[in-house]
């Protein structure tokens, strides 16, 4: 199971990297068109929205299990993530064919792996937003 979890982690890290860059680029692009005052207001609202979304995601026990490991590139394995999954969810992760996990498919439809890998898109979003609010 460890090898599978680590392979999934590698793909999650790629998705995080993609989504974070996308978010960062979107923000910087918007800021080019704002005055200094508008930029401050926009950034304050962005921060408020991101923290609201983080709080909503944090209501999930599985997401709570990785909270203290957000900076760790191996957070699925190093946290209590696996222990918080139900037995059927653990089986899904353990039996997942990692060769089918395509980052391009994820970027097209973020929740495309949530059935096969429960919480996949929520995990990515949580880590991305955690990094974003610290920017």
Angle, in degrees to the nearest 10, between helices 36-58 and 2-31: 160
| Global confidence as pTM | 0.92
Q: Taking 80 as the threshold, does the pLDDT of residue 132 lie above it?
A: yes
The string of pLDDT tens digits covering residues 42-98 is: 999 999 999 999 999 999 999 999 999 999 999 999 999 999 999 999 999 999 999
Instruction: Return the pLDDT at 7.
Output: 96
In 3-state terms, what secondary structure has residue 106?
helix
Radius of gyration of the chain, Cα coordinates, nearest whole angstrom: 16
For residues 79 and 69, is the Cβ–Cβ distance under 8 A?
yes
Give the residue carrying structure tokens 């391009």: 104
Query: Which distant-in-sequence residues (6+ apart) come within 8 Å of 100 by Cβ?
Result: none
Domain boundaries, the chain: 2-133
Q: Taking 80 as the threshold, does the pLDDT of residue 99 lie above it?
A: yes
């Amino acid at each position: 199971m460890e090898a599978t979890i680590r392979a999934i982690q590698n793909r999650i890290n790629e998705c995080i990297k993609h989504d974070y860059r996308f978010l960062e680029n979107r923000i910087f692009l918007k800021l080019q068109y704002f005055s200094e005052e508008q930029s401050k207001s926009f950034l304050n609202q962005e921060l408020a929205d991101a923290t609201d979304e983080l709080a909503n995601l944090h209501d999930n026990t599985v997401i709570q299990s990785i909270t203290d490991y957000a900076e760790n590139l191996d957070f699925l394995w190093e946290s209590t993530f696996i222990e918080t999954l139900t037995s059927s969810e653990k089986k899904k992760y353990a039996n997942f064919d990692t060769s089918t996990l395509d980052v391009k498919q994820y970027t097209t439809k973020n929740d495309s792996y949530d059935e096969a890998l429960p919480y996949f898109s929520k995990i990515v979003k949580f880590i991305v937003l955690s990094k974003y609010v610290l920017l």
